[in-house]
Copies of this chain bind each other. A is one copy, B any other.
Amino acid sequence: MAKRTSEQAEETRRAIFDAARQLFETEGYSGASIASIVAAAGTTKGALFHHFASKEALFLEVWKSLQLEMDADTRTAAAAMRSKDDPYAAFLAGTRAYFKWAATPAYQQIVLIDGRAVMGLARWQENDDRLGRNNVEQGVRYLARKGLISEDGVVPLSVILLNALNGAGFALTRKDPGITEDTLFDAFEKLLRGLR
C-alpha cells in the first residue's frame, strides 16, 4: 500500500492522533511508545513520522487539543453567568467547568502531569499562559475593575489562583474523605470572596 487519497491521509493522521491521545492518557508519555501508538492506529512508523515531526510534536498537538476543548468549555460556562448580579458568578462558573476538566484522567495525565515535563519549563509557561492564565487573569481583572480587589495585584493573584485550580483537579482523583468537587469549590469560593 502506498499513496492514499488526501481524504484517506487525513483519516490516517486522525487514527494516529486518536491512538496517541488514548495511549498518552493511559500509559503516560514515556509509557506510550511509538510502536504501540502506530499498532493501535493500525499503521506504521512511516505514517506517523510523515504526519508528525516527532513524538514530542504529536504529544504537543494532543496537549493543545485538550487545552482548547477545556478553554472553550470554561469560557462558555463563564459567559453564561456574566450578566448576573453577583460579580463573582462568571468567574466561579468558569471554575466549576474547569474542575470538571481537571478531574478527568486525560487532562490530569496529559496536561497536568506529563505536559510540563515534556515541554520543559519555558515552553510550558509560554503555552499555559496563553490559555489557562489568560483566562484566570481576565476574570481577576474584571473583579479589579469592579473594585472588589486591588488593581496592582492582578498578575500574581492570577498565578496563584490558576495553580490552586490545577491542584484542586489532582486532589479529586484520590478518594480522600473531605475532598469532593463541592468542598473544593467551596474552599475556592471562600478564598475568592474573601479578597477585599
A interface residues with partner B (beta carbon < 8 Å)? 28-30, 108-109, 112-114, 116-118, 120-121, 124-125, 153-157, 159-164, 166-168, 170-171, 173-174, 176-179, 183-184, 186-188, 190-191, 193-196
Residues of B within 8 A of A174 (CB): 125
- Sample of 15 A–B contacts (CB below 8 Å): A113-B116, A114-B117, A117-B117, A125-B173, A125-B174, A155-B177, A155-B178, A156-B171, A156-B183, A156-B187, A157-B187, A160-B187, A160-B188, A162-B167, A163-B164
- A28 partner residues in chain B, CB cutoff 8 A: 117, 120
**Cα distance A116–B170 when bound, in Å?**
11
Chain B residues near A163 (CB, 8 Å)?
A: 163-164, 166-168, 170
Instruction: Tell me whether B173 and A159 are in contact (CB under 8 A).
Output: no
Q: Which residues of chain B are within 8 angstroms of A161 by Cβ–Cβ distance?
A: 164
- C-alpha spacing A189/B37, complex, angstroms: 47
Given A109-B121, A170-B121 in contact, is the A179-B164 Cβ separation under 8 Å?
no
Expressed in whole angstroms, the Cα–Cα distance for A176 and B155 within the complex equals: 9
Q: What is the minimal beta-carbon distance from A21 to any residue of chain B, in angstroms?
A: 17
Chain B residue contacts of A112, Cβ below 8 A: 116
Within 8 Å CB of A121, what residues of B? 108-109, 113, 170, 173
A193 to B159, CA, bound (A): 18
The answer, among B120, B159, B190, for a CB contact under 8 Å with A179, is B159
* Closest Cβ–Cβ distance, residue A8 to chain B (whole Å): 35
- Report the Cα distance A30→B119, complex, angstroms: 12
Query: What B residues does A193 contact at CB under 8 A?
Result: 194
* Contact among B166, B167, B183 with A153 in the assembled complex (CB-CB below 8 Å): B183
Contact check, A190 vs B153: say whether CB atoms are below 8 A apart: yes
